[in-house]
Chain A
């Protein structure tokens, strides 16, 4: 082979190579699942997807929930934001307001037809004539309890508030607490308080016309109940966040808590006896008949208007939601992330995880509880942009703090809370 021929061949190979590189679509994914084992699982999935799709390269950059509300808008404005970004319902409106989010309604419709997406998960991202994110995994709170503590006290798992209050009082003795309820200013307390509201017919923060519906007797009753149970929590619980409640439960100090899951912590730090770990629907007010809970789906938003990136995004998310892959994605944190698709809830890839198998009855109960999930500000298809700053400023937990710490009458605290919401909305 002559030098000229060799050179031509080499050049052709290089051109072909560069041609295929040019045809590759790159997607930058930002997500907030930062713990190392979650990052590792996401990377495994990305490696598998990228290997199976040579024309697409998806890379991840884990971010922190604490900064993403400021960081993402700034990065997008400066032109160095991601193409795909995970979201929760009250985060999506912030990016939508600055025009960064693409409508994925048609794609979500196609996914729904194929996988049967959870209606409530889609609903919390559907407003203003569009669907602004693809739901990926659900989270719902339940009442987690130590079976041994309830059995020793001769108690059945409470179903109503009166049973709940009696049980909590009886379980609080000898340095142990019937329940661990937070009263800090933060999202965890917001979520816990809302569990009381949805189980007392006070789930709506807004009226249909956008005015506030927070100040009503049912909401005040819900706060009164939360404050009554909070008395049976450890003294430091007024400063708790999720991890503190879990530690209290795993150590056996708290007989019960309201939490998305306790499985991983119970397994690694609390002994790991699955037979003794109880989970139940959250008790409802005596006049109510249905157990409800706070639940919300984490989702992924498309932030690029490039058609090639949209096509790559749809290929990637379609692949991720295939039952063979979806369970592995959910089990980046086994027992915390619940499926949002009907076929995903039956997928072997989900149920074959060793930890999921061990705690199968608990996870089945979690999934059942999530069916009656609601999220403040995203109920009945009514979503108003002011919910983002109201959630961001933790008004729900501020009201509980007024009742629990300052001793304000619940009705007065709720009325003041509504005024605060109105101020924020303006």
Chain B
């Protein structure tokens, strides 16, 4: 259907407005990270940088443990993401297809768990992990992040599985395929966008998680980006250049992952939402 010129103009202006609304803060942070300190805090802020320096990045990467924090975050994020996918897919299948007692009740209980604020279970989890010797261990963060990402992931995967015709499974079953094979060979390839969506969701949740990372990790060399970076910035005196450089680098892995699987993520969300 061909759109009229005024409508297209309106759409273009609307898109431009939202592009600026969303993009300007990013531009402000990224461009600011290349400005000299005096320009960053200048009385009249500059939208286009009047100076250029890499000193903030040099300081961040050379004089702080930021690279270590980045590596830790990547380990925790990727491991949480993989583990979440590995658990969410069979769990969602079980909730969707298998005849389990109290299936609907359990399904709703899982979503209820998603509604719990993490801070409520912080102390019990700390005590539990201390007994297991997992305090100050990245594995603790992987377990916690996976636990908190799973309920929404299962819900999303289940909605996604609902879009696949049952006939496909029955045909495979008639050919003698057991359930794990059906899941691996038939269903998973068909719900790859959903798998990608769950993976990205789990990764971003893990990448930005602060509360548990701040309490469960004690050593500086095991900190993740949000916690380690908060310490680098300082309390009484803020190095604004360092802050902006660190914030710019922190979003980079997320941007890269989105650029690789972003399309699948969006289609995963929308396909799963509409049966």
Q: Give chain A's interface residues, CB within 8 Å of chain B.
A: 32, 34-37, 39-40, 61-67, 70-71, 74-75, 77-80, 175-176, 242-244, 246-247, 250-253, 260-261, 264-265, 268-271, 333, 336
Contact = CB atoms under 8 A, between A and B. Distances in A.
Given A242-B236, A271-B38, A78 B219 contact: no
Contacts of A269: 37-38, 40-41, 240
Interface in B55-97: 59, 63-65
Given A36-B232, A74-B215, A243 B237 contact: yes
A265 B214 contact: no
Contacts of A74: 123, 126-127, 215
B215 A67 contact: yes
Name, among A35, A62, A265, the residue most crowded by chain B CB atoms within 10 Å (CB to CB). Answer: A35
B254 interface: no
Contacts of B42: 251
A246 B232 contact: no
B56 to A, nearest CB: 11
Given A36-B65, A242-B237, A247 B135 contact: no
Interface of B: 37-38, 40-43, 59, 63-65, 122-123, 126-127, 130, 135-136, 214-215, 218-220, 227, 230-240
5 contacts: A62-B220, A74-B126, A242-B237, A243-B236, A265-B238
Contacts of A71: 214-215, 218
B215 A242 contact: no
Nearest to B135: A80
B3 to A, nearest CB: 42
A242 B240 CA distance: 12
A71 to B, nearest CB: 5
Contacts of A63: 218, 231
Contacts of A336: 236-237
Nearest to A333: B237
A358 B226 CA distance: 36
Contacts of A78: 126-127, 130, 135
B259 to A, nearest CB: 31
A398 B120 CA distance: 25
Contacts of A251: 38, 41-43
A127 to B, nearest CB: 26
Given A34-B234, A242-B237, A269-B240, A61 B63 contact: no
Interface centre among A63, A80, A244, A251 (most CB of B within 10 A): A251
Contacts of A175: 43
Nearest to A250: B41
Given A242-B235, A242-B236, A269-B37, A37 B63 contact: yes
Contact of A260 (B123, B215, B236): B236
A252 B42 CA distance: 8
Of B41, B126, B238, most buried by chain A (CB within 10 Å of CB) is B41
A44 B269 CA distance: 52
Contacts of B231: 34-35, 62-64
B234 A35 contact: yes
Nearest to A40: B63
Given A40-B63, A61-B219, A78-B126, A247 B41 contact: yes
Nearest to A38: B234
Contact of A253 (B37, B43, B220): B43
Contacts of B239: 35, 268
B126 A36 contact: no
Contacts of A261: 236-237
B178 to A, nearest CB: 44
